[in-house]
Amino acid sequence: QKLRISYDGLEDHTIKDIFLDICCFFIGKKRAYVSDILNGCGLHADIGIAVLIDRSLLKVEKNNKLRMHDLLRDMGRAIVGESSPKEPAKHSRLCFPEDVLEVLSNETVRTLKHLL
């Protein structure tokens, strides 16, 4: 609950999207790789990543890989599924392999934004 305040305090929806994308897909990936992909999706990745680092929601290790505390990652993944916890086809992102399998095998994709 207390961690959620940090996410809710992000006023820009683009930065919230970048946070959720990193939680689901990009932890442990190189910063440049993540920036390239997110910029290709129309997000301003460098600005968003800088804001997340400034707010202590994200860190970049010496090897330029993105890291985040496990509790923050888990919170982000929970946020993705909170609108319809039992229906992954309605999630904006599919963060878990079992959700991907369920959605693709049932052909129920409705609101999915990203699948990497």
User: Is 113 inside any structural domain?
Assistant: no
User: Is 116 inside any structural domain?
Assistant: no
Percent of the chain with pLDDT over 90: 62
The pLDDT value given to residue 61 = 97
Helices 31-40 and 45-54 cross at an angle (nearest 10°) of 130
User: Is 102 inside any structural domain?
Assistant: no
User: Is 103 inside any structural domain?
Assistant: no
Residues of the chain with pLDDT under 50: 116
pTM metric for this prediction: 0.84
Q: Give the Å distances, CA to CA, from 79 to 18, 63, 113.
A: 13, 29, 14
Q: Is 27 left (phi over 0), alpha (psi -120 to 50) or beta?
A: beta
Which residue range is the domain that position 76 belongs to?
A: 2-82
The DSSP element (H or E) to which 59 belongs, if any, is strand 59-60
User: Is 15 inside any structural domain?
Assistant: yes
**Two tokens, residue 37:** 């992909």
Compute the distance between CA of residue 35 and CA of residue 18 in angstroms, rounded to an integer. Answer: 10
Report the number of distinct structural domains present in the chain: 1
The pLDDT value given to residue 53 = 98
Instruction: Specify the CATH number for the domain of residue 26.
Output: 1.10.10.10
User: Is 93 inside any structural domain?
Assistant: no
Q: Give the Å distances, CA to CA, from 104 to 79, 89, 99, 112.
A: 21, 9, 8, 11
User: Is 73 inside any structural domain?
Assistant: yes
Compute the distance between CA of residue 99 and CA of residue 91 in angstroms, rounded to an integer. Answer: 10
User: Is 95 inside any structural domain?
Assistant: no
